[in-house]
Amino acid sequence: MSSSVFFVSSNENKFKEARAILSEFEIPLQFFKYKLQEMQANSLEEVAQYKAKQAFSLCSRPVLIEDDGLFVQSLKGFPGPYSSFALDTIGNKGILRLLTKQRRAVFRSIIAYCEEENDVLLFDATVRGKISTKTCGNKWGFDPIFIPEGQTMTYSQLKNKKNLISHRYLALKKFANWYLRKKKSSGL
């Protein structure tokens, strides 16, 4: 098992978050900036597996990708696996315009790790919460409108505290625990 893991994405913000989180586990992460093909599918798992295989074929080294989705209950799970498309087309303001009183949502993250062709491992996590009534803060993605359960502020407003409670953190923590166990059992 190589000691270098490449985070493949065109989203530098996602990489910075992943690097900060994995540094807590002393797992170095390198950035391989590349816009992977965004497959449209009905599940995050399908999208993540597809992207991980694509990423591995590009670098032939251990790769990590992250795919996530915001699932709004009153919108029957929309945007879900289509979150990237929804963000690019209607944005946070469009999501806010679609909502009335019921604002419950979950934010899911899937971390996909691939170190051999067609061998992808998935690590997932979900954070329950709600959608704010207005955009709060100026971070990227849906961070300005998602308020995690037990909090009164959006991910954007939580700043660095987000990395301790987010869906991405929880999924990366599962990956890190698995990766460190594997590394230890391999004697690396």
Residues annotated as part of the active site: 67
**Residue listed under structure tokens 């308020």:** 147
Q: How many Cβ atoms from other residues are within 10 Å of residue 93's Cβ? A: 12
Tokens linked to 123: 């690590």
Tokens linked to 180: 């460190």
Residue 16 CB contacts under 8 Å (≥ 6 apart), including other chains? none
Tokens linked to 69: 């989705």
Contact 63, 6 (CB under 8 A): yes
Tokens linked to 15: 């990489």
The Cα–Cα gap between 7 and 121 comes to 14
Q: How many Cβ atoms from other residues are within 10 Å of residue 27's Cβ? A: 20
Classify residue 132 by burial, with Cβ atoms within 10 Å: 0-12, 13-18, 19+. Answer: buried
Pairing state between β 63-72 and 5-9:
parallel
